[in-house]
Chain A
């Protein structure tokens, strides 16, 4: 066990274990958090970070192990008790209520029973003092993701916690918003508060964290000072071996290549009060190129994907053109028949039917395009052909599974994503549109998917990738466009794109302003 820095530990965890069925999510985890430090908890998706944190916050009960708070053994039975101890949590998937106001959301987590107006005033004052301005009267459903996170942070701070747990806080922020968050965290540290910072972004961990605990497959594989490590050495600790770097061959002559996917003056009214309208979107994806769409979550990416994939039809058939033909009036099958392929954001329930086998899921998305191969003349399904194709995809994408043809829900997120992307790649589609290709996927699988997307483009297809992960977009895109509040900026060639420029566009800088930055850069 690593030595304490200075003084007593605020939180000490010894041998914490959590077992779900046959999976040991946390295996004898040890962790010490000193007073006034920012402690990083590193690990890939599925390494057990969230499970560990849920046990610390009382939403999961450990099978064995001990937790000491200020030296006293404690049993954290529920989140209410965690709050009483002085543990506050800022959730990754926000635990906010969309139909309530910010003040009501904050009031719900405070137990003092003071009227909402008092809480609203306190929240407003605190938010301004930390430079995170907040309007307590606003409805959460109307707020951006960054603003929602502010509510979470203010709500957490109002409980005057000694330990603040932040779960992947920057995954939904623009780089500039993240900088602001880091300032807040440093100020909290200077006030003597401890912070447990969960992330898989190594650069920011190196920047703000004092110590790090690295988890892999539920076990602690090391404690270290991230400032003394390189991003590569931290990655090696997290993954366990070297991650193959993605290679992006130069794309020559894209400017004159044939446009395969064209979006012309695409607009869409909001379908629900909380969804984003799309405003006059124009985009051309040519044969051979990968275009990335960056943006903070909830700026219309989901709505955009639905209109491009044909889940929502357009009035103007010419607003979406695939391989030179109008496709706006066609549904998803019609667009697939024109040579397009789509991978939606949610794997289970949208990309795949959870309780159906992989081969059946394959048939579901390709019965129209591969009708002759998979379905006989009399309408009978050719099980062997489908099974064979499923096995081909499983092999090509290196999908790890426990049975020859398991149900989709039985696969881990990363492996299912490899299968879903592979299912579309296997068709060699002329146009490929992917929303969040590697969300929640471990580094090895993510590299595999990214490389496959680049290779598809270089073989003459047009690839459009919507992602919140800027690192990913910089890795695979030839140009990056930014979606903000339902509007899409002009694509910026990768050679001219920087984190700063893209970040400003993500935060809503005027396109004209961004071009000005472009010129002066």
Chain B
């Protein structure tokens, strides 16, 4: 029983950074902006979170620093693509490259240092309930944030007027502009929100997952988050499902490798990617629904004529 609980907990820990980064990018893409710099913003969050935690001794300050650094880094992308109308794909890619390099440089003195870890939730009486206690009331704080964030984004996008406006900008920025909607302002806010989420996801890696600094420790999770958004056809609950499928198969194959199952380890390592894509493609096979949810103006620069 304990093993099962432990496995479930590790799945949640593996899925949480993917979920947070993907939910942030989902909001960005719903506004019609494609930010390929998720990996870069995430690693900046990771190094910032570790550094601030290490220097101040408080993982909570580390958490805030991770969010702030991710947001700040995305602001660079926003200024380039929104105010200067540069190509979003190229700018996003260079943001990732810049983030990987810059974080390595910032983190040279952190390598091998002991980090701070965010404490797990511990509610007397509740956390000690067998099985469900630790699953529901004993996880790290960012896990709860990730679930709340998913619910909040769903509610925001589909139940509020502001969310409707954001979706409309993603559908057609020229139409939105013609209605007097401040396209650029909305997109700035969306991009910064996405950056904050990516930073938080990075902070999860260096403050919860493995509380230490290792260069390049995001290890492609930003790219997985990007892929999740597309395969989940820009729907929050599907992103959640995708992140957890990925986490489950990831942890499962690790255990399988540990047990020495006679399957090439490369094949096992590729399983999480394969399974996530297959499942999300299956749930997205309603073409019409997918079309409706695809932001039609995704990746197109918007330059209003004056």
Contacts and interface: CB of A to CB of B under 8 A. Distances in A.
Interface string B159-177: 0010011011001101111
Given A59-B177, A80-B180, A95-B178, A108 B164 contact: yes
A94 B161 CA distance: 21
A499 interface: no
Interface in A391-432: none
B285 interface: no
Interface stretch (A98-106, A252-260, A338-346, A485-493): A98-106
Contacts of A113: 161
Given A100-B167, A100-B171, A79 B178 contact: yes
B305 interface: yes
Interface in B97-127: none
Contact of A108 (B168, B294, B305): B168
Nearest to B174: A95
A61 B306 contact: yes
Contacts of B178: 59, 79, 89, 91, 95
A489 to B, nearest CB: 29
Contacts of A109: 179-180
Contacts of B257: none
Contacts of A61: 306
A20 B294 CA distance: 34
Interface in B253-306: 287-288, 291-294, 296, 304-306
A274 B181 contact: no
Contacts, number: 69
A402 to B, nearest CB: 22
A60 interface: yes
Contact of B179 (A99, A104, A108, A141): A108
Contact of A95 (B175, B287, B288, B292): B175
B292 A108 contact: no
Contacts of B165: 108
A273 B181 contact: no
A58 B178 CA distance: 9
B167 A60 contact: no
Contacts of A272: 291
B172 A97 contact: yes
B272 to A, nearest CB: 31
A107 B164 contact: yes
A78 interface: yes
A104 B166 CA distance: 12
A274 B288 CA distance: 8
Interface size grouping (class) on chain A? 20 to 34
B288 A273 contact: yes
Contact of B287 (A91, A98, A273): A273
Interface string A95-126: 11111100011011100010010000000000
Contacts of B167: 97, 99-100
Contacts of A83: 180
B293 A99 contact: yes
A274 B168 contact: no
Nearest to B169: A97
A139 interface: yes
Interface in A19-69: 58-61
Given A107-B164, A108-B164, A274-B291, A98 B181 contact: no
A195 B60 CA distance: 61
Interface string A67-86: 00000000000111111000
Contacts of B305: 59-60
B69 to A, nearest CB: 34
A109 B293 CA distance: 21
Contacts of B168: 97, 100, 104-105, 108
Nearest to B167: A100
Contacts of A97: 167-168, 171-172, 175-176
B291 A273 contact: yes
Contact of A273 (B161, B172, B292, B304): B292
Contact of A107 (B161, B294, B306): B161
A371 to B, nearest CB: 37
Contact of A99 (B177, B296, B304): B296
Nearest to A274: B291
Given A80-B180, A95-B174, A273-B288, A104 B164 contact: yes
A99 B291 contact: yes
Nearest to B306: A61
Interface of A: 58-61, 78-83, 89, 91, 94-100, 104-105, 107-109, 113, 116, 139, 141, 272-274
* Shortest 10 CB-CB contacts between residues of A and residues of B: A79-B180, A80-B180, A95-B175, A273-B288, A95-B178, A97-B171, A99-B292, A273-B291, A97-B168, A109-B179
26 contacts: A59-B305, A78-B180, A79-B177, A79-B180, A80-B180, A83-B180, A89-B178, A91-B178, A94-B175, A95-B172, A95-B179, A97-B168, A97-B171, A99-B167, A99-B171, A99-B296, A100-B164, A100-B168, A104-B168, A107-B161, A108-B165, A108-B168, A116-B164, A272-B291, A273-B287, A273-B288
